[in-house]
Amino acid sequence: MTLGALATVWFVHLLAAASPGPAILMAARTGVTQGFVTGMWLSVGIGVGALFWAVAALFGMATLFHLAPSLLWGFKIAGGLFLCWIALQMWRHATDPFEMPAGGVTPRSPWSAFRLGVLTQLSNPKPAVFFGAVFVNTIPAGTSLPWIGLILLLVMVNELACTLAVARAFSLDGPRRAYQRFKTTIDRSFGGILALLGIKIAAT
């Protein structure tokens, strides 16, 4: 393993982590509706979910998906249904009144936000295929545990950096006032996009 290969893994994954998807969308909505602290715990959960797929890829899950397509199909269907369920809740509650959390109190507990982050990340099995494709071309056989640990650390840092930045940006007063004003339209838009992402994950 070389520093050049490590930099390649970091940069390619950073681009993937920053691209719009269920994790980024959930970070944005959590930041605007429940504040940065809750968004932070969601981000940690998203990072842990990414670590799961990275470790799974290191242990050959991408190859397993290739050898047993029905397993990947099952993961995709389950994940797509989960995202569609979240989207349905957004749509159903879009007309509910929104009140700014006061005194640092957030509607969702740290554990609940963390769990939602993990489940959101695990709902999309494609990262396992992504990591498998990247790792097979950059990590040579016999790479030592310290290098593996450093790669996993970079995966976590990338996920946290991207989702925390989004949660922070959307937790500021300006975006939150705009959300309060246009809550129904925004929630139904978020729900529609999340549903489309769920359908895309399940169908492709």
* Greatest mean pLDDT among 70-79, 92-101, 130-139, 185-194: 185-194
Question: Domain count of the chain?
Answer: 1
Domain membership flag for residue 87: yes
Which range marks the domain in which residue 90 is found? 30-95+103-203
Instruction: Encode pLDDT of 33-67 as tens digits.
Output: 888 999 999 999 999 999 999 988 888 766 666 77
- Chain center to CA of 122: 8
Domain membership flag for residue 192: yes
**Contact assessment for residue 84 and residue 198, using Cβ atoms and an 8 Å cutoff:** yes
Share of the chain above pLDDT 70, in %: 92
Of the candidate ranges 42-46, 47-51, 74-78, 134-138, the one whose mean pLDDT is the lowest: 134-138
Residue at token pair 């990414």? 50
Domain membership flag for residue 174: yes
Domain membership flag for residue 140: yes
Domain membership flag for residue 168: yes
**Residue 109 pLDDT exceeds 80:** yes
pTM: 0.78
Residue-level pLDDT at 48? 96
- Among candidates 11, 24, 40, which has minimal Cα distance to 121? 24
Domain membership flag for residue 23: no
Residue-level pLDDT at 96? 75
pLDDT band at residue 103 under the 50/70/90 scheme: very low
